[in-house]
Amino acid sequence: MKTQLIKLGLVFAMLGIFAVGGGTAVLPEMQHATVHWFSLTDRQFRDIYSLGQVAPGPNMSMVLVIGYRLLGAIGALVVGFAFFLPDCALTLAANRLWTRFEGSPWRLSVQRGMAPVAIGLMCAGTYAIARLTLASPITGVLNPLSIGIAVIITAILLWRHVNPGLLVLLSGTAYLLLTHW
C-alpha cells in the first residue's frame, strides 16, 4: 500500500509538471500509467474523465477520483497534492524569474517552438479519449451513437459558442434516453 501510494504520487507529480499545453496533453500518458501500472480499466478511466466534465472548475480535478478509485481517500489526497502542488510551486518560481527573460530572444523561440508540440499533444489527448469513447475499449466495435454525439457537438461548437456545461448534460441525457427508453 505504502509503496503503491509513493508510486502513484510520483507518477502524478510527473504528469502535473509535464502538462505542457494543459491537462489534455497528458491524458494518453495518464491513461497508460493508471491502466498498465495500476489496476484501473480503460472504461473506468473514461468514466472518471466524464465525471470531471460534469464538475465545475479545472476539469483535471478528476485526477482525485482516480486516486480514490485506486487507493481510497488517502489515494485521492496523494494524487491531488502530487498533481497540482509541484506545478503551482514551479509557476510561482517562474513568475518571480519571468521578468529576467523579458528581453531574451529565446523566449519567443520557446513559445514558437513549443506551441506546435503542445497542439500535437492535444491532438494525442483528443485521440485517446476518442478511442475510448467512439468504439468499445474491450471489443473495438464502433459505437454509432457516440460517434453521432461527437460529430453533432463538434458541428455546434464550430458554428457558434454554446455553454459547454449545457452540452455536457444534454449529451449524457440523450445517450441515456436513446439506450434505455
Residues from 59 through 118 that contact another protein (CB under 8 A): 59-62, 64-65, 68-69, 76, 80, 84, 87-88, 90-92, 94-96, 98, 105-117
* Residue that has been written with the C-alpha cell 458554428 in this structure: 159
* Contact status: 36 vs another protein (CB under 8 A): no
* Contact status: 42 vs another protein (CB under 8 A): no
Selected from 35, 74, 135, 152, the binder of another protein by CB under 8 A is 152
- CA 167 – CA 165 distance, rounded (Å): 5
Choose between 34 and 59: whose C-beta lies nearer to another protein. 59
Selected from 32, 37, 39, 142, the binder of another protein by CB under 8 A is 32
CB atoms within 10 A of CB 4: 15
- Considering only CA atoms, which of 142, 121, 120 is closest in space to residue 132? 142
Selected from 29, 78, 79, 82, the binder of another protein by CB under 8 A is 29
- CA 44 – CA 54 distance, rounded (Å): 15
* Residue that has been written with the C-alpha cell 529576467 in this structure: 100
* Contact status: 168 vs another protein (CB under 8 A): yes
Choose between 3 and 106: whose C-beta lies nearer to another protein. 106
Choose between 5 and 24: whose C-beta lies nearer to another protein. 24
Cα dihedral 67, 73, 74, 78, rounded to 10, equals 40
Helix (H) or strand (E) holding 90: helix 63-97
Q: How far is the CB of 34 from another protein (least distance, A)?
A: 14
- State the number of binding residues for another protein (CB under 8 A): 107
- CA 151 – CA 144 distance, rounded (Å): 10
* Contact status: 35 vs another protein (CB under 8 A): no
Length of the chain: 181
* Contact status: 3 vs another protein (CB under 8 A): no
Q: How far is the CB of 144 from another protein (least distance, A)?
A: 11
